[in-house]
Chain A
Amino acid sequence: GAVVSQHPSRVICKSGTSVKIECRSLDFQATTMFWYRQFPKQSLMLMATSNEGSKATYEQGVEKDKFLINHASLTLSTLTVTSAHPEDSSFYICSASTGAYEQYFGPGTRLTVT
């Protein structure tokens, strides 16, 4: 139980284009979903938190117009990187919570912007 999927697992896009990453909780309803990015050999950095039907809450320093988050249902959240640039290349990971302390993490999406 408590499986979170992400799609795609890898994506390569050209600079200036937008890319959407999906995060799904497969066997539970997630009241809250989180988006992280992780650079090589570094820890996870929380980007934003989203609750179903509400606007996402972004961490300080994260551009909300660049990283659009939509939490359309209790099982789906999407992260859209708009006008991507090479510096946005990173490993993006989502997690989902039922409101208890445990968070269940997705397998991650490797974004490469050329």
Chain B
Amino acid sequence: QQQVKQSPQSLIVQKGGISIINCAYENTAFDYFPWYQQFPGKGPALLIAIRPDVSEKKEGRFTISFNKSAKQFSLHIMDSQPGDSATYFCAAVGLQTSYDKVIFGPGTSLSVIP
């Protein structure tokens, strides 16, 4: 019930295309859904996040779509660029006991080819 599922495991997109990564969760206690971007040898960096009271959030080329009833959310990267090549993790957070745990998905390795 604590798991966050993520697909695809890897993704190759041409420059200028749209990258789409999908995630699903089970625990309805989650109420914050961040996406992290991680480059090799670096720590993850927060990219964009959404609360379940909205269905979509857009920041620049990055958009999260959220379907509360289906317990699914996705990341869309518009006009994908080679610099977007990285591993992307969806995550879910919910207030548990006295601290917030981030439950990470398994990750998607994105390669944007010129």
Are A and B co-members of a single complex? yes
Of the candidates B34, B89, B109, the one whose C-beta lies within 8 Å of that of A102 is B34
A-contact 0/1 string along B14-46, CB 8 Å cutoff:
000000000000000000101010000111111
Contact B43–A107 (Cβ < 8 Å): yes
A-B contact number at CB 8 A: 56
Stretch of B53-61, B63-71, B74-82, B94-102 lying at the A interface: B94-102
Docked complex: A85-114 residues within 8 A CB-CB of B: 91, 93, 95, 97, 101-108, 110
Least CB distance from A89 to B in Å reads 14
Bound Cα distance from A69 to B1, whole angstroms: 28
Bound Cα distance from A102 to B33, whole angstroms: 10
Question: How many residues on B have C-beta within 8 angstroms of the other chain's C-beta atoms?
Answer: 22
Docked complex: B70-114 residues within 8 A CB-CB of A: 89, 93, 98-102, 104-107, 109
Least CB distance from A64 to B in Å reads 17
Question: From B44, which residue of chain A is reached at the shortest CB distance?
Answer: A105
B32 contacts which chain A residues (CB < 8 A)? 101
Q: Is the interface of A mostly helix, strand, loop or mixed?
A: strand
B-contact 0/1 string along A29-59, CB 8 Å cutoff:
0001010000001111010010100000100
Contact A44–B99 (Cβ < 8 Å): no
Question: From A50, which residue of chain B is reached at the shortest CB distance?
Answer: B99
Q: Using known A-B contacts A43-B105, A43-B106, determine if residue A101 contacts B100 with beta carbons closer than 8 Å.
A: yes
Least CB distance from A51 to B in Å reads 7
Q: Using known A-B contacts A42-B107, A43-B105, A44-B104, determine if residue A49 contacts B99 with beta carbons closer than 8 Å.
A: yes
Question: How many residues on A have C-beta within 8 angstroms of the other chain's C-beta atoms?
Answer: 25
Given contacts A43-B104, A44-B89, A91-B41, 7 further A-B contacts (CB under 8 A): A6-B43, A43-B89, A51-B99, A93-B43, A102-B49, A107-B43, A108-B41
**Chain B residues within CB distance 8 Å of chain A:** 32, 34, 36, 41-46, 49, 89, 93, 98-102, 104-107, 109
**Chain A residues within CB distance 8 Å of chain B:** 4, 6, 32, 34, 41-44, 46, 49, 51, 57, 91, 93, 95, 97, 101-108, 110
